[in-house]
A = this chain, B = another copy of it.
Amino acid sequence: MKFVASVVSGVASLNKGLEDGRTQMVGLLLPSDFIGHPGRTRIEFDVVASSDVTLCCFDRAPFQQLLTEMPHISQRMIELAMDELDAARDWMLLLGRKTAGEKIATFIEMVVRRQHFQRRDGIKVDLTLPLSRGDIANYLGLTLETVSRQIGILKSEGILQFEDKRRFRVVDMERLQAATGDDDDGAVIF
């Protein structure tokens, strides 16, 4: 990694693998996310594009320079890392303890949160799954078949409505939330 970068458009992911080919996604990169870290020239996982991706790259050296000169940017980098750490830990809870249904609900809820944030113009638009079924499975530690079935359940329960395989709409946010299994301490999204 000779550069650090920010995702401008498209979707990519961070992946780790086992000997025999099993893989687990350990990070999802959506527009606005940051790739690479100061003080680390090497990363120990694969970065995989899930669609065409546009990056905004910075050469490592001048970026490093910037950090030493502007301590508050360094501060910001720490915060960014902390956020990632928090996210990673939430994901550990999901991977270790949630049921297939809860995993899917949590994933959808995250998609809603991130896409709703993008366009707060009040217009009720259809949302888009950023990943294929297989990729979602990889993210959630499930198989592609299980993902398909669980999404089917959310559909049949009337919580989600699908336009096509990727485009959907949340019919019942309340029940989606409930299905995540999360502690709902003040977790009001809208």
Size of the A side of the interface (Cβ < 8 Å), in residues, is 45
Interface residue? A68 (CB, 8 A)? yes
Are A37 and B92 in touch, CB under 8 angstroms? Answer: no
Interface residue? A186 (CB, 8 A)? no
Q: Mark A1-35, 1 if CB is under 8 A from B, else 0.
A: 00000000000001011111011101100000000
Contacting residues of chain A (90-108) with chain B, CB-CB under 8 angstroms: 90-93, 95-98
Which of B19, B37, B85 touches A84 (beta carbons < 8 Å)? B85
Give the docked Cα–Cα distance between A157 and B93 (Å): 31
Closest B residue to A23 by CB, please name it: B97
Contacting residues of chain A (56-100) with chain B, CB-CB under 8 angstroms: 68, 71, 74-75, 77-79, 81-82, 84-86, 88-93, 95-98
